Amino acid sequence: RPENWAMVEKEYYYIAGFCLTVSAESIQLVAEHAAANKVVSMNLSAPFICEFFKDRHDVLPYMDSVYGNAVASTISRVHGWETDNVEDIAYISQWTASGAHYSITVITQGADPVVAEDGKVTLCTVIPMPVYRLVDTNGAGDAS
């Protein structure tokens, strides 16, 4: 509908991986539209998204940035990569369909986060927080 498409005319997009469960076609449409000159980011949301909706990973090459918390081993397993090395798995930053923007992947795995930018992997140091200061770890990796 035209009123919905008006939202697509924006410059930046952030798509939650949970959207893959209901409307991968909409994500694909927006991503193809944005590929030439807009920035699209996706958070893979949860390991079950990577596992049960693997057939919808074809939208990932359209993403300029992909974020995932504790999803690396699941992505590796469902794609048959046979590695749990987060640095190897982060190469999804090279899956770019548009080439119009940089491509970055941020994977957080507890205290072992990794960032891949255009295929170059950087491990980031995490400053541990004392356990007594933790209130809720839900979503903690999303802030990386």
Structural domains in the chain, sorted by start: 2-133 (3.40.1190.20)
CA dist 93 and 102 (Å) reads 9
CA dist 57 and 71 (Å) reads 13
Q: Which tokens hold the place of 127?
A: 């400053």
| Structure confidence at residue 34 (pLDDT) | 82
pLDDT tens for each residue of the chain, 144 residues long:
888 778 777 778 888 888 889 888 888 888 888 877 788 888 888 888 888 988 888 888 888 888 887 788 888 888 888 888 877 777 776 666 555 556 777 877 767 777 777 777 887 877 777 888 877 666 555 444
| Structure confidence at residue 144 (pLDDT) | 41
Q: How many helices (H) and strands (E) does the chain have?
A: 5, 6
**Catalytic annotation, residues:** 142
Question: Strand runs (DSSP E) across the chain, as ranges?
Answer: 12-16, 39-43, 65-69, 104-108, 114-117, 120-123
